[in-house]
Amino acid sequence: MLRKAVVLTVGLLVVVGCAQEPGDTPPDDAAALAKVVVTERPGQSPLVTLPTVPFYVSTPVARLVTDGHGAALLAGQELLVGELVVSCTDGSVVDDGWTSQFPDLVVGKNSVLDAVLTTAHIGAQVLFALPNATDCDVLLLVITDVVLTQADGTPVPPVPGLPTISVDDAGVPTSMSASGTPPSNLVVQPLLASDRPPAKAGDTIKVHYSGWLWDGTAFDSSWAREPFTLTLGADQVIAGWDQGLVGQSAGSRVLLVIPPALAYEDKDKGQIPPGSTLVFVVDILAVF
């Protein structure tokens, strides 16, 4: 499947091809893959039919089945991908993740796929055949979305009484200002709203974030690091995050005001004193 075959093999392109005898004519892998038929089936994953079984390719090969209608794919973008994996031995489905999303591919990291991806758009379907020592897999990939670099939603009018956030020229949050008594309940306020599907408990999300104490003191930010990945509802973060980010969408920027009971309560966390109300701005980059 893509999570095994593509991550381990496409990223490094360390592929062991099937043996050829001396004097054999090299197979036309592109022509072989062109004979694979993809049939759409409403309400379920497509049907991938191999021209013969067992099916054979000697090297990795890819082709565009249908292009998408979304934005053009760009070099360096991390793609969210659904997959359907068929065994070359008998044409059976090895793995069906067609309705799932996995952040598995980066445009510009693999010469075989890049010949297709650099001309494609979100929504594209791509066939990719991978040989190995004893078999091969044919993968039908659908590019469902990209992992954002920052929130791209529509600005939401400010809500009076809530903390205000300043951003730099690139739109990255830099400071926070709050006044008055901090709220005693969790506050969840989108600053940029997205119409993508909302995240559910159990979903994995990738985010950038900045955090402040109520007096404006910054204590953490991911913007100078890699984005942070977590599974909602798995107790990997404070309760205010688990509760506040459910229902939010990729592309959203969300203001969270988290009372001590949903943060660190009376614990001393170094830069975060006991009983602190915390203010976060969270950019949701992907939901999968």
Classify 2 as helix, strand or coil. Answer: helix
Distances (CA, A) of 280 to 11, 13, 207, 255, 256: 35, 40, 12, 6, 5
Distances (CA, A) of 57 to 5, 21, 25, 123, 214: 15, 15, 13, 26, 61
Write down the catalytic residue from 258, 280, 283, 284. Answer: 280
* 288 included as an active-site residue: no
Write down the catalytic residue from 209, 283, 284, 288. Answer: 209
* 67 included as an active-site residue: no
Could you tell me which residues come within 8 angstroms of residue 206 by beta carbon, excluding any fewer than 6 positions away?
103, 147, 227, 228, 229, 284, 285, 286, 288
Q: Is residue 30 within a helix (H) or strand (E), and if so which, with residue range?
A: helix 29-34
Phi/psi at 244 (5° precision): -80, -25
Whole-number Å distance between alpha carbons of 80 and 142: 9
Classify 244 as helix, strand or coil. Answer: helix
Distance of CA 108 to the CA centre of its chain: 16
* 209 included as an active-site residue: yes
Write down the catalytic residue from 56, 135, 152, 219. Answer: 219
Write down the catalytic residue from 96, 114, 135, 220. Answer: 220
Distance of CA 2 to the CA centre of its chain: 14
* 238 included as an active-site residue: yes
Write down the catalytic residue from 145, 264, 272, 283. Answer: 264
- Show which residues are catalytic: 209, 219-220, 238, 264, 280
